[in-house]
Chain A
Amino acid sequence: MFRFIGRRLLVAIPTLFLVVTIAFFMMRAAPGSPFDMDRKLSPEIEKNVLAKYGMNKPVGAQYLDYLAGVAHGDLGPSLKYKDKSVLAILKENYPVSLTLGLSAILIAGVVGVSLGVLAALRQNGSVDYGVMTVAILGVCIPTFVTAPLLVLVFAAKLGWVPSAGWNDGALVNLVLPVTVLALPQIAIISRLTRAGMIEVLHSNYVRTARAKGLPERRIVMKHALRAAILPLVSYLGPACAGLITGSLVVEKIFNLPGLGKFFVISALQRDYTVVMGMVIFYAALIVILNLVADLLLAVLDPRVRLS
């Protein structure tokens, strides 16, 4: 187990190194600079500003400086927001994204698994077709379509919930963004659960459980479900990536002060350090979640051997 974790962490380091490298050189290749203003800076001031951020050195030296900083957990200062470090900006903005993401994945898990189990128990029945149609719609309707449509109906026409804004995370403000984020995940999770459940229900040990006369409810809840939701664990990493992508859209549409909204703005403003910091943050998050998923799977499923 510990050797497995060690090896996976050893793979994670070159991954993150690659992330830092690509992000660094791509941002530097971009035309324009974070110090472009409406009014042109005088050459002396520009020289001083560049010197302050160490940007007067050759690119190679800057890259090494940055790597050394990252290795010490220092992501540098923001180039646009004076007196703020990238870490401070991340700290300030991540609670919004975290709240959205966690609520969405929890709701999607509960709803998706229930729908998937229902569909599997009534395979080829009307419930099954209903759930699977919803699942296909959920995969095919992108978040940037559901979000404005839901706003149009529930905020603009019915006025039940506000159309945008964070409002310190009030529940009414959360309803629409979380729904939009959760819908595609519900679709995928219900499909995965249904497929797993159907397979398990045809397995020998479920037949054994039936043969010894266990009530159907116990068979489903205790024996089948446990094995059927195992594929969901490996879906944790991709789900997180999907939520991050979704949050870019959702935070823009609902005007929420989270990391996703910040990322796009910073990229457009050439705030190099903030953009790189966020890319590193998200990459690390995905790497860690994938590792956790693998470990969890090994704990839950005795057939899986860590090698």
Chain B
Amino acid sequence: MSASFFDRGSGLEGAQSMERAALKGRSLWDDARRRLLRNRAAVAGMVVLALLVVAAAIGPHLTAYRYDEINKNDVWMAPLVHGHLIGTDALGRDLLARLLMGLRVSLAIGLVATFVSLVIGVAWGAVAGFVGGRLDEVMMRFVDVLYSLPFIFFVILLMVTFGSNILLIFVAIGAVEWLTMSRIVRGQTLTLKHKEFVEAARAAGLDQGGIIIRHIVPNLLGPVVVYVTLTIPAVILAESFLSFLGLGVQAPMASLGTLISNGASDMELAPWLLIFPSLVMVVTLMSFNFIGDGLRDAIDPKDR
């Protein structure tokens, strides 16, 4: 699904840069960064994401109202009335404050749950790939079996079983998303183990640790980084999905999903309650996807 349709690097440029590379050594990552910065969509994604992160981090402290502050006199205020920049909800709570808080919660869930999946996935995949043999077979068959489960149902069951608390949402979603990560890591480890450059490094007298640090890890890191940037939006989406069904973050705390869910039920009376959270959600997901696609095009050696 990789689409490099915003990337317009030409072959000539590539040839020239290779010539220059011969004069001055340039690492894998220098190359990737250069290609990434040439990709306008990815750069735009990074700028927007940086703004969103700053807004989520400091925004909730700057708003005139608190996110859980109920104002009986300001119920259903349209945007720009009474100092509520983007309006209020059924309890008179300031939408801007709630939106910033929701963005913070959604981003935090995205990061933490992705980290959980990263740790499990890399450990599982690397062990299976390095050790190989029967253990590899058993571990990957286990992943195959889990793959064919309808996971959203298990997350729903989990939320119903243990009640919705944020910690559990992290763990539940992270535990679901590690499968693909483990497959990617295992595949990479398997191919890398037998690559000529690893052989060459060994012949040149580099020890096992040096090979892993200098050759295996950098090559493993690329696809993992790409997949991480694509997992974060998937996790945000999954959390919002749960919140939409009423199983995610509980009031008065907000996430993008709960805000959209509440907005959807009141949309005829107060369309702003649906429109602004949806907009933030879509922009967030898009910036992550642009960055992920850009990274993939920059790092994946096949597209060079």
Interface residues of A, Cβ cutoff 8 Å to B: 11-12, 14-15, 18-19, 22-23, 26-27, 29-31, 124, 128-129, 132, 135-137, 139-142, 144-145, 147-149, 151-152, 156, 188, 191-192, 194-195, 237, 241, 244-245, 248-249, 252-253, 263-264, 267-268, 270, 275, 278-279, 282-283, 286-287, 290
Contacts and interface: CB of A to CB of B under 8 A. Distances in A.
B153 A144 contact: no
Interface of B: 1-3, 5, 141, 144-145, 148-150, 152-154, 156-158, 160-163, 233, 237, 240-241, 244-245, 257, 260-261, 263-264, 267-268, 271, 274, 278, 281-282, 285-286, 289-290
A194 B153 contact: no
A132 B5 contact: yes
A23 B157 contact: yes
Nearest to B286: A140
Contacts, number: 128
Identify whether the interface residues of B are mostly helix, strand, loop, or mixed: helix
B271 A145 contact: no
A191 B233 CA distance: 18
A191 B154 contact: no
A140 B279 CA distance: 11
Contacts of A132: 3, 5
B281 A194 contact: no
Given A124-B5, A252-B245, A30 B152 contact: no
B268 A156 contact: yes
Nearest to B153: A279
A142 B1 contact: no
Contacts of A27: 157, 161
Given A142-B241, A194-B3, A286 B153 contact: no
Contacts of B271: 152
A29 B278 contact: no
Nearest to B154: A22
A223 B42 CA distance: 35
Contacts of B261: 144
